[in-house]
Structure 1
Amino acid sequence: MNKKYTLQLLSSILFLLIIYIFSVAKDPSLGDSIVFTVQGYNGFEFDSNATNHLLFSNVLAFLHKILPFINVHFLFVGVSIICSLLFLFYLKKLLEIVGVSPRSSLICILLLGLSFTFWRQSIITEVYTFYLLFVALFLINLFKFIQDKRPKYFYYLSFFFGLLFLIHIQSILFIPIYFYFLFKNFKHLKKHCIYGIWIVFFLCSILLIPPFLGHHTFGAILSNPDYTDSVFNLDIKIILKSIVKNSGILIYNFLYFIIFLFWGLRNKKFLDYIAIGALPFFAFCIKHNVSDIHVFHLVPYIFILIFIGRGLDYFPKLYILLPILLPFFYFLTFKVIEKTSIGQQIEKEKGYKGGTRYMLFPPLNKNPDLNYFILKYKEDSLYRDPALKSLYPDVIKWESIKDEYMRK
Structure 2
Amino acid sequence: MEVSLPTDTDGFLSQECPSCNQKFKALFGEGSSEPISFCPYCGYHGQNCWYTDEQVKYVQSVAMSDIVNPELKKMSQELEAHSKGFLKMKLEDELPGKIVHPMEVDDDFDLLYFPCCNETIKASQHEHHFCIICGAEIDMKENALKQVFLSHKGVDKDMVINFKKTLDLLGYSPWLDEDAMPAGTPLERGILQGMKSSCGAVFFITPSFKDEGYLETEINYAIQEWREKKDKFSLITLQFIDVNGDAGVIPDLLKPYVWKTPKTELEALCEIIRALPVLPGIVDWREKINGVVRLSTVKSTATELSIEAKTLLEAAAADDGTIMYNRYLGGEGIEIGSKNLITGKDPRQIALWVGGLEDLQRRRYIKDVGHKGEYFEMTREGYAAADELSET
The interval holding the TM-score normalised by the smaller chain is: under 0.3
Q: Would you tell me which structure has more helix in proportion to its own residues?
A: 1
TM-score by length of 1: 0.26
Q: Would you tell me which structure has more strand in proportion to its own residues?
A: 2
Structure showing greater radius of gyration is: 2
